[in-house]
Amino acid sequence: MLMSASFVFSMSGCGSSSGSTTASGADKVTTEIVTEATTAEVTENEKTEATTGNKFLPDTTIPELSIEKYEIPDNEGLRFVHDMRVGVNLGNTFDAYIDGSSLKNDMDTETAWISTKATQETIKAYHEAGFDTIRIPVSWHNHVSDDYTISEKWLSRVQEVVDWAIDDGMYVIINIHHDNHLEADGFYPDNEHLDKSKHYITRIWEQLSERFKDYDEKLIFESMNEPRLVGHQYEWWYPANTAVVKESMECINQLNQVFVDTVRASGGNNAVRYLMCPGYDASPDGALDAAYRVPEDSVGPEHHIIISVHAYTPYDFALNTNGTRDFSVKNKKGTGDIDSFMEKLYQKYIKDGTPVVIGEFGAVDKNKNIQERVDFAAYYIASARARGMTALWWDNSAFSGNGESLGLYYRIGGYFVYKDIVDALMKYVDMY
């Protein structure tokens, strides 16, 4: 998220956020989040009530929208993003990590932030609900040995879940997620750590490229999640005229280029695979600033580099747990913030034929402000689709507590707690 000059809101446990009052993903989700999925036992009666209309939540109305469709250039990359429709993140799962702990088994990190493992039923439930794309964020640094060699067990487990989604016909995004802090011994986008960071990015993507090189184009690689100066005063700000941030943005450009070069050199379908590359914080401002460079791609087909952004916008409604609970399509409360950043992305990228994917968005629950969240979901996805983009909700399986409650699907019970939000997304995804 970008503050002031650019306020970047991010939560990457979920991923993190971004941009000039345009938040990025949900990266700050930690093990302190308490979810119903960690404690509750769900009876068959509860599941039936939640899925048959006898809901725990008040009824809602999906707003009627008439957002004019923008002129979208006709190229392969933009058609590809259009076909991705709408997506969801498998958050707080493979992205979870525990540093400085004495885990007896690194495989236990999958349930370090929530109590249940990913299942094939969960993947199918997302797809059946209408989500055609799933982002599977993965942190690797707890699962590497000498020279960043990935644990075979961990990589095979990630592949298993990828296969479930691919076999079900979904688009899948995998990435390097929470490896961007000094304790992780992964990457850090400043000059001091640049050579080491390039080596880390190269080694991880060499191995992922080899493992997945025969998968078709529905598998998408994303270089990094919300690259930024973790722990710095400008971690979630993007004052582009600040020397330290300029340096970091240049490092991010170089790391994105290393990612593209490594994947393309691996052969197989990786020579033509779609690749996603973020700017600072993955915020819209980070990608819109002149300091951000789209990586050169002399090997891959034209328009196969996708700009990756995260935007929990408007921040005070969508991500700030102490902010407003109000959003209204009828009264245009909050809609202008969404229009503003999406319009800038359209003008800079989409209009010129460069695809954009909003890899994380969502709005936290604030004392069951379900109608406001339904309005938000409908307006957000309609606005994105009208401008030729797609967006993926950050589902972190969190439903209670004081953290960022962005969960949609209750994995233990096997049902959507917020099906009204899902319905709002699906109503408008195919109107454009």
Residue 192 appears among annotated catalytic residues: no
Catalytic-labelled residue, pool 110, 235, 360, 372:
360
Give Cα separations from 175 to 64, 208, 223 (angstroms): 36, 9, 6
Residue 121 appears among annotated catalytic residues: no
Cα–Cα distance between 221 and 139 in angstroms, integer? 14
Residue 193 appears among annotated catalytic residues: no
Catalytic-labelled residue, pool 177, 178, 303, 304:
177
Phi, psi of 291 (to 5 degrees): -70, -20
Catalytic-labelled residue, pool 36, 110, 222, 226:
226
Question: Which positions are catalytic?
Answer: 177, 226, 360
